[in-house]
Structure 1
Amino acid sequence: MTTVVIGTPGDRRSVLFAAACRSSGLPEPRLVPWTDVLRGSPLVLDPGDLLRIDSPGEDPAADALLRGPGHPARVGGGAVWYWTFTAALARIDASAARAGARLLGDVEDIAVMFDKRRSHARLLAAGVPVPAALPPARNYAELRSLMDGAGERRVFAKPAHGSSASGVVALRTAPGGRVRAVTSAATTPSGLFNSLRLQTYESERDVAALIDALAPDGLHVERWLPKATVDGRVFDLRVVVIGGEPTHAVVRTSRSPMTNLHLGGARGDLGAVQRALGENGWRRALDVCARAAACFPGSPMVGVDLLVLMGLKRFAVCEVNAFGDLLPGLLGLPGTSADGLDTYTAQVRATLPESAPACTT
């Protein structure tokens, strides 16, 4: 039996998963580059092989194969990316079935998690608290009409197939035609590009151009819920759920509407959040995350982005992530099956039980 990883050579996810296998007394996984899969190379598997699908991100060559040639930092092309990605997932699934290999994750779950509209609908149907969503908008004028009809002054407009906050817009409107949009998308003569510094647009003409450029790929629009604060900064939680159990949690704080760490967010004090929520509140927060992950029963790991709302009494799931385990140095929550383990070692233990006796912490 061999563990096979579809990933990117040198990518931190693949490197950390391989290290977790070695520390657990398992052989080095065999890495199949995403570029090979996307070019249609046959996936060679043997009966009994275990196949892990990792993120195709952080690889310009894979990005070009997924959404066409162009600068990897450009915003857009999400619909083409999604079609190509899900077609590749289907080929991987078929190859595993023919070979008698076992997938460590369900390809349909992954496909749903990479479509914000489908994942929101699945969570909502299961009774998981999520921000209210508006109907699809094809352009800025339609979005404003939908917002006015719903009485919404503040929304998040998200590319349906985006990740890492690419193209996400925190939009605020006010009487008198005033608008304010905060986004990672920077407007350049060559189009929209991701920026590591958040951009603010306050001209309605600029905001309309921004939304109109994003809308053709599909937008998921949600009510902007007010987040709770800790130490004067808004925060949310990334909670990793492994085997149905919330095992790892990190606090992401920011002075902007977006808490992503690569956009200026910072890790916060988990202990301070737990104390603010109290034992019952913390237990309820983790329960919401477990319920969200349960909506994807074929996925041994789900990364859940949890909003803690102002007042610290209510919660809402704003994202679910198929590859949300890249949290270097973060150890499992005390009292869980991952206590003292990083996210990858915890997954090796959960999905490769034969490794448990040799697993080290």
Structure 2
Amino acid sequence: MSRDRPALGRPLVVVCVPGNRRLALFTEAARAAGLPDPVPLPWRDLADPAAGPVTLPEGALVRVDSAGEDAPTARLLRGWRHDPDLHRVEGGADQHRGFVRALGRLSRAVAATPGAHLLQDVDDLADLCDKRRCHARLDSAGVPVAPALPGPVTGYDSLRATMAGLGWRRVFVKPAHGSSASGVVALATAPGGRIRAVTSAHLVRDGGSVELYNSLRPFTYTNEADVAAIVDALAPDGLHVERWVPKAGFQGRVIDLRVLVVAGRATHAVVRSSHSPMTNLHLGNARGDLAALRESMGPRTWRAATATAEAAAGVFPRTLHTGVDLLVRPGWRGFTVCEVNAFGDLLPGVLHEGRSTQAEQLHALATGRFPLTAPHPTPAHALSGERP
């Protein structure tokens, strides 16, 4: 990629958790391209209200990566005095407010630095990390998404009442600001009061209180009191509820796809296969056989799948890359976008034309597929930390 050096002759800055494998993978890609190591900008420097001014190199290209997996960063984003337990499900709303405030601080620093440019739009990032707003933007753009419950869900009773009013028996209950299936509940109801909820949340009762902990294996709850306790514990942080859309089966498991879209083009893809309703790979699920799936689908259907992912990413055109979770309907009869992930490029070992996900982003910059236009105004809500 030596021919790409002139187009990337600008400093690379990565907003990150120093020492995280995400930074290591991006640094490895930069070195392989013959570029200087990216300059880390710790999330803590953006999240700490007592931190000094944020300074950037002139002409910097600023890439924002995940703020996850770091308790001190989470504490600063949430405004809590003690280090949060990263295994707890609760606290997403506080963290999102801090995340938006930090993005506003970053945006102001970019605007104050000659020639600097953000590789992800701060408004896009804020919405991508809010399932309600992300779903609304996709739906307004005509991207196929699952129907969502209208209005706020304040707890289990309001959830069941709204489901009954619509005649829905199966839904996915999602914390508005969660990631990696944290707190997601696949809820199925049946006549006679039968209920079944599959979730990564482990319910712990401590005296009269309820606590939810993330687990690496899904739990199944069939006691309505337990299900109600879980939903009621999630509700204060905000909920997004979608109608359950059936997933296709392939090689004895249900599947969906994670498709990375870089600069408008679907590049890397992973089949996520599971025996449970949730296919996230960290929950003990497996990568499926992508080549066999593409052969089974046929070229025309595969093109429809990637076109759907590209349409979803196109709703966020000023953001270099997104990871689109694509639900495949039984019989390959269509596709539904489940999620669009701001930081969905962590796919180690998956290559496209010999490039990793991180190298693909650098390639898109070097070849002009992602044009660097003039910085745009910072949204008022990003400056204040509030969402309209």
TM bucket normalised to smaller: over 0.9
- 1:46: Cα distance to partner? 2.7
Pairwise mapping of residues 5-154 of structure 1 onto structure 2 (< 5 A)? 5-40=14-49, 41=51, 42-67=53-78, 68=80, 69=82, 70-100=84-114, 101-135=116-150, 136-154=152-170
Percent of aligned positions with the same letter in both sequences? 55
Which of 261, 267, 282 is 1:241 aligned to? 261
Distance 2:192 2:287 in 1: 38
Q: Amino acid of the residue matched to residue 135 of structure 2?
A: H
Distance 1:179 1:63 in 2: 34
Aligned to 1:184: 200
C-alpha RMSD over aligned residues: 1.1
Which of 262, 279, 301 is 1:281 aligned to? 301
Of residues 64-73 and 343-352 in structure 1, the stretch that sits farther from structure 2 once superposed is 64-73
- 1:325: Cα distance to partner? 0.2
Distance 1:351 1:145 in 2: 49
Distance 2:166 2:18 in 1: 47
Q: Amino acid of the residue matched to residue 120 of structure 1?
A: H
- 1:182: Cα distance to partner? 0.6
Aligned to 1:175: 191
1:166 partnered with 2:208 = no
**Secondary structure of 1:156 counterpart:** strand
**Secondary structure of 1:226 counterpart:** coil
Deviations 1:68-98 (A, max 9, x none): 3321110111111111100100110111001
Aligned to 1:296: 316
Deviations 1:155-187 (A, max 9, x none): 000000100000000000000111111101101
Distance 1:344 1:46 in 2: 21
TM-score (norm 1): 0.94
**Secondary structure of 1:316 counterpart:** strand
- 1:188: Cα distance to partner? 1.5
Which of 256, 264, 269 is 2:276 aligned to? 256
2:323–2:344 CA contact under 8 A, matched in 1: yes
1:276–1:312 CA contact under 8 A, matched in 2: no
Which of 195, 209, 213 is 2:233 aligned to? 213
**Secondary structure of 2:189 counterpart:** strand
Gap regions ≥5 residues in structure 1: 333-338, 355-361
Distance 1:125 1:36 in 2: 36
Q: Amino acid of the residue matched to residue 34 of structure 2?
A: G
Q: Amino acid of the residue matched to residue 94 of structure 1?
A: R
1:195 partnered with 2:203 = no
Distance 2:194 2:205 in 1: 25
Q: Amino acid of the residue matched to residue 289 of structure 1?
A: A
- 1:278: Cα distance to partner? 1.1
Aligned to 1:324: 344
1:157 partnered with 2:173 = yes
Gap regions ≥5 residues in structure 2: 1-9, 369-388
Runs of 4+ in 1 over 6 A off after TM superposition: none
**Secondary structure of 2:332 counterpart:** coil
Q: Amino acid of the residue matched to residue 148 of structure 1?
A: A
Aligned to 2:375: none
Q: Amino acid of the residue matched to residue 42 of structure 2?
A: P
Q: Amino acid of the residue matched to residue 212 of structure 1?
A: D
2:48–2:77 CA contact under 8 A, matched in 1: no
TM-score (norm 2): 0.88
**Secondary structure of 1:149 counterpart:** helix
- 1:353: Cα distance to partner? 4.4
Aligned to 1:226: 246
Tell me the number of residue pairs that the alignment of Structure 1 and Structure 2 aligns: 348
1:181–1:200 CA contact under 8 A, matched in 2: yes
